[in-house]
Amino acid sequence: MRKRIAVILALTFVFVALSFAQAAQVEPSEKAAVSSASSVAGSLKYFAAALAVGIACIAGGIAVGQIGAAAMGAMAENPELSGKALPYAGLAEGICLWGFLVGLLILLR
């Protein structure tokens, strides 16, 4: 399991390094290779933004589900606790917002 994670992290590092690499001046015969590399980097940008938003929204949904279940159980025993559980659900939903902002910053780069 650890080997898999290490390989995935290494590949992610390579793809991120390729996406931020700057093109140097090259000979006309090498322009085709540079243009294909920049197109790969451009497509990886969209993949990274989708990954950031997707993981953040899935994590936010799991968090809101857990908090909502616990809040409903607490309110069943003591109805005065309803106002105290609301900020925690808002914090969990904020995870999705941060994921969207990271995705937007990736696309604007």
Q: Delineate the domains of the chain, giving CATH numbers in brackets.
A: 2-20+31-108 (1.20.20.10)
In tens, the pLDDT along 63-105 reads: 999 998 998 898 889 888 878 888 888 888 899 999 999 999 9
Cβ atoms of residues 82 and 75 within 8 Å: yes
Cβ atoms of residues 34 and 23 within 8 Å: yes
Q: How far apart are CA 93 and CA 95, in angstroms?
A: 5
Q: Cα–chain-centroid distance for residue 20?
A: 17
Q: How far apart are CA 109 and CA 99, in angstroms?
A: 16
In tens, the pLDDT along 19-41 reads: 666 544 555 555 555 566 567 77
Q: How far apart are CA 81 and CA 73, in angstroms?
A: 10
